[in-house]
Chain A
Amino acid sequence: MLLDSKCPTGPIETRWDRHRFNLKLVNPANKRKHTIIVVGTGLAGGSAAASLAELGYNVKCFCYQDSPRRAHSIAAQGGINAAKNYHNDGDSIYRLFYDTVKGGDFRARESNVYRLAQVSVNIIDQCVGQGVPFAREYSGYLDNRSFGGAQVSRTFYARGQTGQQLLLGAYQALERQIGLGTVEMHPRTEMLDVIVIDGKARGIVTRDLLTGKVESFFGDAVVLGTGGYGNAYYLSTNAKNCNATAIWRAHKRGALFANPCFTQIHPTCIPVSGDYQSKLTLMSESLRNDGRVWVPLKKGDARAASQIPENERDYFLERKYPSFGNLVPRDVASRNAKQVCDEGRGVGETKLAVYLDFRDAINRLGKNVIKERYGNLFDMYQRITGEDPYELPMRIFPAIHYTMGGLWVDYNLMSTIPGLYVTGEANFSDHGANRLGASALMQGLADGYFVLPNTINDYVASNKLDKVDASHPVAREAEAQVNGVTKRLLEAKGSRSVDSHHKELGKLMWEYCGMGRTAEGLKYALSQIPAMRERFWGDLRVLGNGEELNQSLERAGRVADFFELAELICIDALNRNESCGGHFREEYQTPEGEAARDDENYSYVAAWEFKGVGAAPALHKEPLTFEYVHPAQRSYK
């Protein structure tokens, strides 16, 4: 299979404009004759659904939550990047582009990233127009802060709830369209398959989570904005119900899965406290603006933080990376935290944590300033741990947070199944091997508001599609398959709960395919997963039936997919014999312990083709070329 990224060539500054001009349009009056299916209502799905409906398309929109406002984009705290250069500090579209390509460790497409930086500017305008209450200066103008991986202040924020506010903007735009009747909303409805007819995505099969009804919906194109797959690791900062089912089932129908091993580990999460732990809570990266990360110099130092004098503290990020200090990118910060813990210098009961200390910032700026900046984060920390971070340093540890990998898409955001578009975290496109802070919100909204509504017209205009309905044999086959899986899950009649299987998988993945990976460990994981998967199917207990709300059944279907996806993540990690961004292979590091990339052999997107459960997937490579930002070892020293 030849992967055509459809990226325009020529000067990068005008690529998007020229590309847009070359795309076909759909006459405004004709748009209402076309139906677009949008799955997911986060920043990427919700913004796409609203914008497509505004353009005049008929939109059918689906989410598994009880309301489109609950999508996990809502939990993003810190902010959203945009190259506004409102602060005259040397920012520009080009610099945001440069930082993102470099931050992604040279594993992203230059054309995509440049476009992302360009439309970042429009996103802020749009969100302000929607009533997003961004932080303001006393002058009434927009405030900015700085974020990891950048030396300019380009992050727009709404307290520590930026994701929530941006999502409410998209949600309200979506609700407006629902009120107008241009969007048909289906909450508590889970997509379980894609209907591919004559090689084109024509619809989806869903299950109504309240009644168990399995149904097919059809349209001219399908958009998946269904988020990432971090929950393959069981413990992650994702919402409990985030899942990979939509993208995984699309993958099984022919969409290639790109770079699955690029998973991001976020350095500032609240550490695990016990076996019952159900998820991890992230503390915004913005905390690293004022907090200093340290551990005791001595191994096994059991003294309380306040008892450790200044000269016996190791501010290891400031020591190793004097120019970026505590603001190094996430992968670097996480890896260093793991390193000091591996050396036996971790803190807290489990010794799997490092300090994030605000003592100096409080002394310098006063408690009130810190409270104004991070008050809600401090409150959250206190609620969860019972400790007061104004008095005691926070304890933090890295956790799975974001997945840069996802379904392969071309420049138009179309997957390898024609008519199947993928937006936001669900696709692989813009972040390479590592995502910079405050860039996920930017990408989700860029895709949904400004990219997809432009590119999808071209597909709709160029394809004459026959009308199809649920009586089509392909739809019937897909529905039968969905019903078959549900039946199989309910009839497993084993002894163990879904969660116990999921936890087992998660532990294995975190251990062998987490922050540090080795060929040996990955091979071990790959030897274990098939057996685990078999145990899952053989010894699963799902009580209740399939005709009413059954949360165990929902989870079981999702976990079944994680068992297949986990294998692919490990295969990809084993294939990529280099370290880059979030993928750190311990065999490949520089003498100083930094990631050693292999541009000669691995400067490509690894896109995997499904060949059957348990069968080796086929690798397709999309070579990456860099005309503007020349690959170099990332240095934040």
Chain B
Amino acid sequence: MSSIAIRPIHRAVGFYEAPIGKKAVMAVTGLVLFGYVVAHLLGNLQIYSSDPTQINKYAAFLHNPANAIALLMARTFLLVCVGLHITASVQLWLQNRAARPIGYFKKDDVPASYAARTMIWSGPIVGAFVTFHVLHLTVGSVLPLHEVEGGAFLSPDVHYNVITGFQNPLVAGFYILAISLLCTHLYHGIWSMFQSVGVSHPRYTPLLKKFAALCAIVIALGNISIPVACLAGWLKV
């Protein structure tokens, strides 16, 4: 061996140990949850069907005991994704706070990125809302839930539960607020998940950002239209 010092660069970092690994986990779980939000919206929009029982039929399909295992698996999968998404984000948040122990007297935020900076706040609020939303419309601990005969079994009377729920301005207001936050969260998240896994291109990334904004707005409008329609009396039991 010559005297020339040769040492390969050290390769010693675990995937999840590295912030980039955590962000990749958040990107993948975020994608799953985004998919769920889209599917959920498509389900919800059935409330506008001319057939007022349409949405209940959809609910009955989901609650069919024949689909119970699939439903359980889907719910578990979603919960795991939510858990991972939250765990990684909290870990990063703690690390990042430690990276600046003394703050600035005066800090001017660059205006470009309101949604990005508020991810850590829009996240928990949306989380709280989801919990409320599940308690409200799935568990029934907010308002009593109606059920209807779905053939061989009882299934939720979604049409009734949603409309009566949203006729309460407090419930509707909280829903609208939470959806707005969810959509700012999505607006940043849709673009951000690509960035986190390293997909960026000078031609397509600006388009992606526009697409993210469009998605967020469409999802927001679609969801918010329901409580608005209930409050305005366009949707009736």
Chain A residues in the interface with B (C-beta under 8 A):
28-29, 31-32, 53-56, 177, 179-180, 182
Q: Give the Cβ gap from A10 to chain B, nearest Cβ, in Å.
A: 32
Neighbouring A residues of B7 by C-beta, 8 Å: 179-180
Query: In the complex, what's the smallest C-beta–C-beta distance from A123 to chain B, in angstroms?
Result: 20
Given contacts A53-B5, A180-B7, 16 further A-B contacts (CB under 8 A): A28-B2, A28-B3, A29-B3, A31-B3, A32-B3, A54-B4, A54-B5, A55-B3, A55-B4, A56-B3, A56-B4, A56-B5, A177-B5, A179-B7, A180-B5, A182-B5
- What are 6 residue pairs bridging A and B, where the CB atoms are less than 8 Å apart in the complex? A31-B3, A32-B3, A54-B5, A55-B3, A56-B3, A182-B5
Chain B residues, CB < 8 A from A177: 5
Q: Which residues of A contact B4 (CB under 8 A)?
A: 54-56
What's the minimum C-beta distance from A421 to chain B, rounded to whole angstroms? 21
* Residues on the A chain within 8 Å of B5, using CB: 53-54, 56, 177, 180, 182
Which B residues have a C-beta under 8 Å from some C-beta of A? Answer: 2-5, 7
Tell me the bound Cα distance from A179 to B4 in angstroms: 14
Q: Which residue of B lies closest to A54 (CB)?
A: B4
B5 nearest CB neighbor, chain A only: A180
Q: What chain B residues lie within 8 Å of A180 (beta carbons)?
A: 5, 7
Could you tell me the distance in whole angstroms from the C-beta of A281 to the nearest C-beta in chain B? 28
Contacts of B2 in A (CB 8 A): 28
In the docked arrangement, what's the CA distance between A28 and B2, Å? 7
Inter-chain CA distance A53–B7, complex, in Å, is: 13
Return chain B residues, CB-CB under 8 Å to A182.
5
The complex places the Cα of A179 from the Cα of B9 at a distance, in Å, of: 9
Closest chain A residue to B6, Cβ basis: A180
Which chain B residues border A56 with CB–CB below 8 Å? 3-5
Instruction: Give Cα A31–Cα B5 distance, bound, in whole angstroms.
Output: 12
- A54–B3 Cα distance when bound, in Å, is 8
Q: Closest chain A residue to B4 by CB distance?
A: A54
Instruction: Return the chain A residue nearest B2 by Cβ.
Output: A28
CA distance A554 to B4 in the complex (A): 37
In whole angstroms, what is the CA distance A401 to B183 when docked? 57
Distance, CA A55 to CA B2, complexed state (A):
9
Residues in chain A near residue B3, CB distance under 8 A: 28-29, 31-32, 55-56
7 nearest CB pairs, A to B: A56-B3, A28-B3, A180-B5, A182-B5, A54-B4, A31-B3, A180-B7
Give the docked Cα–Cα distance between A28 and B3 (Å): 5
Q: How far is the CB of A461 from chain B (nearest CB, A)?
A: 15
Bound CA–CA A177/B6 (angstroms):
9
Which of B2, B3, B4, B7 counts the most chain A CB atoms within 10 A? B3
Shortest CB-to-CB span from B10 to chain A, Å, is: 9
Q: How far apart are the CA atoms of A362 and B221 in the complex, in Å? A: 51
> A216 vs B147: C-alpha distance in the bound complex, in angstroms?
88
Assembled-state Cα–Cα distance A29/B7 (Å):
17
* Closest-CB distance, B24 to chain A (whole angstroms): 27
A574 and B52 CA atoms in complex are apart in Å by: 105
Considering the complex, give the chain A residue whose CB is closest to the CB of B1.
A28
| Closest Cβ–Cβ distance, residue A343 to chain B (whole Å) | 51
Which chain B residue shows the least CB distance to A180? B5
Which residues on the B side are within 8 Å of A55 (C-beta)?
A: 3-4
Residue of B nearest to A179 (CB): B7
Q: Considering the chains assembled together, what is the distance between the CA atoms of A574 and B54 in angstroms?
A: 103
**Alpha-carbon distance A32/B2, docked complex (angstroms):** 12
- List, in ascending order, chain B residues with CB within 8 A of A54's CB: 4-5
Q: Separation in Å of the B215 CB from the closest CB of chain A?
A: 37
CA distance A76 to B7 in the complex (A): 32
Give A31 to B4 CA distance when docked, in angstroms: 10
A453 → chain B, closest Cβ, in Å?
12
Q: Complex formed: what's the CA distance from A28 to B6 in Å?
A: 14
A56–B7 alpha-carbon span in the complex (Å): 13
Which residues on B sit within 8 Å (CB–CB) of A29? Answer: 3
Give Cα A177 to B4, complex, Å.
Answer: 10
| Residue in B closest to A27 when the chains form the complex, CB atoms | B3
CA distance A521 to B186 in the complex (A): 74
Bound-state CA distance A291–B54 (Å) is 76
For the complex formed, measure the closest distance between the CB of A494 and the CB atoms of chain B, giving whole angstroms: 36
Which of B2, B4, B5 counts the most chain A CB atoms within 10 A?
B5
Q: Give the CA-CA distance A179 to B7 in the complex, in Å.
A: 9
| Distance in Å: Cβ of A182 to nearest Cβ of chain B | 5
Closest to A181 in B: B5
Q: Give bound CA distance, A28 to B4, whole Å.
A: 8
CA gap between A54 and B5 in the complex, in Å: 6
Quick one: closest B residue to A30, CB to CB? B3
Minimum Cβ distance to chain B for residue A179 (Å): 8
For A53, the closest partner residue in chain B by CB is B5
A28: chain B residues at CB < 8 Å are 2-3
> Residues of B contacting A31 with CB < 8 Å?
3
Rounded to whole angstroms, the CA-CA distance of A55 and B3 in the bound complex is: 7
Report Cα–Cα, A54/B6, bound state, in Å: 9
Roughly how many angstroms separate A180 CA and B6 CA in the complex, as a whole number? Answer: 8
From residue B233, how far is it (CB to closest CB) to chain A in Å? 61
A179 to B5, CA, bound (A): 11
Smallest Cβ-Cβ distance to B9: which chain A residue = A179
With CB as the reference atom, state the residue of chain B lying closest to A32: B3
**Within the complex, what minimum Cβ distance (angstroms) separates B2 from chain A?**
6
Bound: A32/B3 CA distance, A? 8
Q: For the complex, what is the distance from the CA of A55 to the CA of B6, rounded to whole Å?
A: 11
A444 to B20 CA separation, bound complex (whole angstroms):
40
Minimum distance in angstroms from B4 CB to a CB of chain A: 6
CB distance from B11 to the nearest CB of A (A): 14
Residues of B within 8 Å of A32, CB to CB, are 3
Once the chains are docked, how many angstroms separate the CA of A28 from the CA of B1?
A: 10
How far is A32 from B5 in the complex, measured between Cα atoms in Å? 11
How many Å from the CB of A570 to the closest CB on chain B? 48
> What is the bound-complex CA distance between A54 and B7, given in angstroms?
12
CA distance A29 to B1 in the complex (A): 10
What is the CB-to-nearest-CB distance from B34 to chain A, in angstroms, rounded to a whole number?
Answer: 38
Q: Residue of A at shortest CB range from B10?
A: A179
CA of A31 to CA of B2, assembled, Å: 11
Chain A nearest CB from B16 CB (Å) reads: 26
Considering the complex, give the chain B residue whose CB is closest to the CB of A57: B3
A133 and B8 CA atoms in complex are apart in Å by 23
Shortest distance in angstroms between B6's beta carbon and chain A's nearest beta carbon?
Answer: 8
Distance in Å: Cβ of B182 to nearest Cβ of chain A: 42
Q: How far is the CB of B9 from chain A (nearest CB, A)?
A: 8
